[in-house]
Amino acid sequence: MSATAQSIDTKSAAGEQELTDGFHLIIDALKLNGINTLYAVPGIPITDFLRMSQAEGLRVLSFRHEQNAGYAASIAGYLTKQPGVCITVSAPGFLNGLTALAHATTNCFPMILISGSSEREVVDLQQGDYEEMDQLAIAKPLCKAAYRILHAADIGIGIARAIRAAVSGRPGGVYLDLPAKLFGQVMNAAAGAKSLVKVIDPAPAQFPSKDSVKRALDVLKSAKRPLIILGKGAAYAQADEAIKTFVEKSGVPFLPMSMAKGLLPDTHPQCAGAARSTVLKDSDVVVMIGARLNWLLSHGKGKNWGDAPKKFIQIDIEPKEMDSNVEIAAPVVGDIGSCVSALLAEMGGSWPAPPAEWPKAVAAKREENVAKMAPRLMNNNVPMDYHGALGVLRTIVKERPDAMLVNEGANTLDLARGIIDVYQPRKRIDVGTWGIMGIGMGYAIAAAVETGKPVLAVEGDSAFGFSGMEIETICRYKLPVCIVIFNNDGIYRGTDVNAVSSDPATTVFVKGARYDKMMEAFGGVGVNATSPDELRRAVNAAMDSGKPTLINAVIDPAAGSESGRIGNLNPQSALKKK
């Protein structure tokens, strides 16, 4: 719809000119650029803006806390390659949304945080305005770009800049500061319509240089034990066919990072997910596609990577990522679709498979590990342990490969990541680069809204608590979300004891809490599941009905381990008694 069509029917004092205002120009600018969904919490100065947005046909998801709205926007950006938009009030609302903006930037998700702000003149003189804060200055170090729009005539350009900054190059978070006065500013409707900007080609293809492609293939050809690591950048790029063809044509085993699972199915014969330590240690050439050598990959060095010399080929849109942790023998800078296509073109009709012993050794290790795990996944222990409960969810996801899977927690995260196979691209969304708790309900809501598919959220009881109030939002919008809480009475375990006072230990929660009752309070379905059988029935019913459901899965409080799989990152005092 054009801006003119939405201009308000107000005449100027002269009674001649048709006028528009900031409210409508912002809505028109978003719509013009295909942004049709807002994740928000209302309040001064954006309450009317959200009402008008809804009236103008935008979908507005109204949350209970800005952090969750922000996380929803960030993952909407990841899933759609369009910036997810979160809207908040000033100062505290802005700060609540800021965590998610920083998270989007860290994870390379395109997102725009739009916050209303207070009177500039008063804020800058620090005279104590309502919700006074210099938001632009505070946002700057936490995002890719930060802009403020002061004049209605600049709304078109301001929103265009924010969109381009979020999605071009390495995607990330953008802050847009909209002072309260801007919304009510009035201008000539025709001039307003003209001032809007449709962003053309917001994330242009970035082709790799020919030399870099040749160099990469020379290195790959020299490999005896090559490995491909797929990261969430590869999933984000939506170059699924090219990546699949590259993996299969090269014959190289691949290891998916957690959100890249499903880019090729975890059951693919070349998938080395279940032989992770072997392939990291023994590989001699590693092709990184949209994954960083950060803490999640032990920075590309140390004992997890073994002693044998290794060469890295890295495909990434961000040139500065190269050599960030170790030397990159063959950097390929460009967007993943263009880079992988260029590699394929240069590989020609036939490409030598790696020496047969290598894929064979990887497959043998993988089968050994899968066989070791299998009986544990079928156990019927009551109370359930992680493996018994996750074995059930694994089968359910296998039967419903197009469902979205959200996952957070410590043991609940690490074990689910290993156990639940993913079959399609961008179906698994989780704690990401920071390993943060709190993404759960925001992600579940955005996943349901953006994909229209049923969502299964597998949540540690602690993890869930960070965003738990949004179950009301899920019920209110009647979203097809099934939340399974792995309730082990606490963080990592529910068994810690405080030896010195009657206060509970710091990692334990109320014993036997019934999270399912919370869901009932909002009209959702609540189920208390104590056995794998009960869990299976409840999840299947929820996924079939699409009714908002929360299942309290009772897990043995002694089953988990400290920090799940990353206990080694806990600092140790040399003075601590063994």
Q: Which residues of the shown chain bind ligand ADP in the complex (CB under 6 A)?
A: 107-108, 170-171, 231-233, 236-237, 257, 259-260, 290-292, 294, 296, 316-318, 321, 335-336, 433
Q: Does 107 bind ligand TPW (CB under 6 A)?
A: no
Min dist CB 51 to Mg ion, Å, is: 40
DSSP 375-413: HHHT---SSB-HHHHHHHHHHHHHH-TTSEEEEESSHHH
Min dist CB 433 to ligand ADP, Å, is: 5
Angle between helix 532-545 and helix 386-399 axes, rounded to 10 deg = 30
| Among Mg ion, ligand TPW, ligand ADP, none, residue 98 binds (CB under 5-8 Å by kind) | none
Cα 389 from chain centre: 24
| Among ligand ADP, ligand TPW, Mg ion, none, residue 45 binds (CB under 5-8 Å by kind) | none
Site string for ligand TPW, 509-548 (x = CB under 6 A): ----------------------------------------
The closest residue (CB) to ligand ADP is 233
Q: Does 414 bind Mg ion (CB under 5 A)?
A: no
Q: Does 71 bind ligand TPW (CB under 6 A)?
A: no
Closest CA to 420 of 448, 402, 453, 395: 395
Cβ distance to ligand TPW smaller for residue 491 or 542: 491
Site string for Mg ion, 484-513 (x = CB under 5 A): ----x-------------------------
Residues forming a β-bridge with 177? 115, 148
Q: Does 486 bind ligand TPW (CB under 6 A)?
A: yes
| Among Mg ion, ligand TPW, ligand ADP, none, residue 176 binds (CB under 5-8 Å by kind) | none
| Among ligand TPW, Mg ion, ligand ADP, none, residue 564 binds (CB under 5-8 Å by kind) | ligand TPW
Mapping DSSP onto H, E and C, the string for 440-474 reads HHHHHHHHHHHHCCCEEEEEEHHHHHCCHHHHHHH
Min dist CB 546 to ligand TPW, Å, is: 26
87 touches 420 (CB < 8 A): no
**552/57 Cα distance (integer angstroms):** 37
Phi-psi region of 300 (alpha: psi -120 to 50; beta: other; left: phi over 0): left
- Phi, psi (rounded to 5 degrees) for 287: -100, 110
- Phi, psi (rounded to 5 degrees) for 502: -85, -5
- Phi, psi (rounded to 5 degrees) for 482: -115, 115
Q: Does 552 bind ligand TPW (CB under 6 A)?
A: no
Torsion of the alpha carbons at 204, 205, 206 and 209, rounded to the nearest 10: -150
Min dist CB 314 to ligand ADP, Å, is: 9
Cβ distance to ligand TPW smaller for residue 430 or 461: 461
Q: Which two tokens stand for residue 149?
A: 């729009």
Min dist CB 48 to ligand TPW, Å, is: 33
Q: Does 102 bind ligand TPW (CB under 6 A)?
A: no
The closest residue (CB) to ligand TPW is 460
Which residue in the set 460, 468, 524, 548 belongs to the binding site for Mg ion (CB under 5 A)? Answer: 460
With b meaning 16 or more CB within 10 Å and e meaning fewer, what string describes 506-515?
eebbeeebeb
400 touches 394 (CB < 8 A): no
Residues forming a β-bridge with 551? 484, 527
| Among Mg ion, ligand TPW, ligand ADP, none, residue 294 binds (CB under 5-8 Å by kind) | ligand ADP
CB-side neighbour CA atoms (13 Å) of 227: 26
Which residue in the set 162, 492, 527, 550 belongs to the binding site for ligand TPW (CB under 6 A)? Answer: 492
Which residue in the set 61, 230, 293, 463 belongs to the binding site for ligand TPW (CB under 6 A)? Answer: 463
Site string for Mg ion, 522-561 (x = CB under 5 A): ----------------------------------------
| Residue 356, number of CB atoms within 10 A of its CB | 9
**419/343 Cα distance (integer angstroms):** 32
347 to 221, 256, 340: CA distances (angstroms)? 10, 23, 10
3-state secondary structure of 18: strand
| Among Mg ion, ligand ADP, ligand TPW, none, residue 534 binds (CB under 5-8 Å by kind) | none
Q: Which residues bind ligand TPW (CB under 6 A)?
A: 409-412, 435-438, 460-463, 486, 488, 491-492, 560, 564
